[in-house]
Amino acid sequence: MRSLMIVLASVLVSVLALGGAQAQTATPDSENGRYSFSAVPDGMLRLDTRTGAVSLCEKQAAGWACNSVPDERAALENEIARLQRENGALKKDMLARNLPLPKNVTGLPAPGQRELQLKVPMPSDAEIDRMMTVFEKMWRRLVDMMQKTPGSDRI
């Protein structure tokens, strides 16, 4: 019993020592895929693959400094929203003056609703049956694996 405790203690100490060594030699986030770098004339562009944020990194006197790049998408979406509001106001003004709307122009969209409406087709019964068959096969294989695993009779 005493030798078993010594073995367990030594395994625990070696695991803790190995974990500490790995923590010291851990790779920075750029090496495990969080950041992606691309060279540009002014320095480096850094893409955060988790958030999508882009920064321009430049070498300074005291080291490297990264400043976030303005998000063009937000600016474009704000401009689209502004144009839609303006377009709606013009349509409303034309209708208030009893003027006909130009060809191919519909009435006013619902407030806060974009004019683009996508319709997603529902899957057919055959597609649902096919997916259910796949899930049933996966479930059976998982159950078979669990039953064939040594020591699973103790569960």
Q: Are residues 44 and 9 in the same domain?
A: yes
pLDDT band at residue 73 under the 50/70/90 scheme: confident
Q: Which domain covers residue 89, as residue numbers?
A: 71-113
Q: Please give the residue that has the higher pLDDT: either 71 or 121.
A: 121
Q: What is the pTM of this model?
A: 0.31
25 assigned to some structural domain = yes
36 assigned to some structural domain = yes
Residue 123, SS3 per DSSP: coil
The pLDDT of residue 27 is 40
Q: Are residues 48 and 60 in the same domain?
A: yes
In percent, how much of the chain has pLDDT > 90?
9
Domain count, the chain: 2
Q: Are residues 23 and 80 in the same domain?
A: no
Q: Please give the residue that has the higher pLDDT: either 87 or 27.
A: 87
The pLDDT of residue 140 is 92
Region 14-21: what's the mean pLDDT? 52
Give which of 91, 100, 90, 54 is closest to 74, Cα–Cα.
Answer: 54
Q: Are residues 38 and 57 in the same domain?
A: yes
Q: Are residues 31 and 58 in the same domain?
A: yes
Region 135-154: what's the mean pLDDT? 84
Q: Are residues 62 and 23 in the same domain?
A: yes
| Statement: residue 91 has pLDDT above 90 | no
Phi, psi (5° rounding) for residue 150? -60, 135
Q: Are residues 88 and 51 in the same domain?
A: no
Pairwise CA distance, residues 155 & 153, whole Å: 6
pLDDT band at residue 25 under the 50/70/90 scheme: very low
